[in-house]
Amino acid sequence: TRFLSTWGADLTNTNQVLCKLRIFILFDFITVALWLIMLATVDRWFSSSTDVNRRQRSTLKTAQRGMIIIVVLSSIIETQQLYGFEVNLTYTPIKCYTKTVACSLVSNLTFALITIIFLLQLVMIFGLMTISNVRHIQSRLQPASMAEGSRAVDGPSTLTAGTQNQQKKTDRQLLIMLSYKFLSCFYSPLQ
């Protein structure tokens, strides 16, 4: 619809159904996309776990179920957009806008709380738990590499320094990935 607006042919500015549908689809797709990122973070936590039962939950079938649940719940949550938006309102910044202050507050608070704040907390929690799982796996593997290193010519002290450097590099990479995922949740096509 933005493409059509350059020629003055944006029907969402005059058609009530298209206005409501556009806003619903916009908010719904943003919410679904961000929650799917969170689902991927949970799946990464499952797959990096040392617990066999958690690792077995990281399957394609579980991911598909999670996707369906996210799409359905997001659509239910965002149905309030269908009521709140109207066309051709006076004193509004754009033609398709919320009809009352209450509708605007509900729309903005729902988006901020459910799509941004709650989501970011879950992404951070599961991201940090994934880093914890990776560190736990590395600490379980380190004694085996130390035993092999004692037979080496360099000795265990050189291997320990090399192992520590590798662990710091891995931790840095994991934190960069987590930070990138965290910051990507702030990007919104609404701006």
Residue 144 covered by a domain: no
pLDDT at 7: 61
Number of domains in the chain: 1
Mean pLDDT of 44-63: 88
Tell whether 150 is covered by a domain.
no
Does residue 154 sit within a domain? no
Q: What is the pLDDT of residue 35?
A: 93
Mean pLDDT in residue range 69-91: 88
Out of 68-82, 86-100, 123-137, 170-184, pick the least confident: 170-184
What's the mean per-residue pLDDT of the chain?
Answer: 79
Burial environment of residue 75 by CB neighbours within 10 A (0 to 12, 13 to 18, 19 or more): middle
Does 95 map to a domain? yes
Distance of CA 1 to the CA centre of its chain: 26
Give a yes or no: residue 180 inside a domain: yes
As a whole number, mean pLDDT of residues 35-43 equals: 92
Residue 156 belongs to some domain of the structure: no
Q: Is residue 15 in some structural domain?
A: yes
Domain containing residue 63: 5-135+173-188
Residue 140 lies in a domain: no
pTM confidence score: 0.69
Whole-angstrom CA distances from 36 to 90, 115, 147 are 37, 11, 42
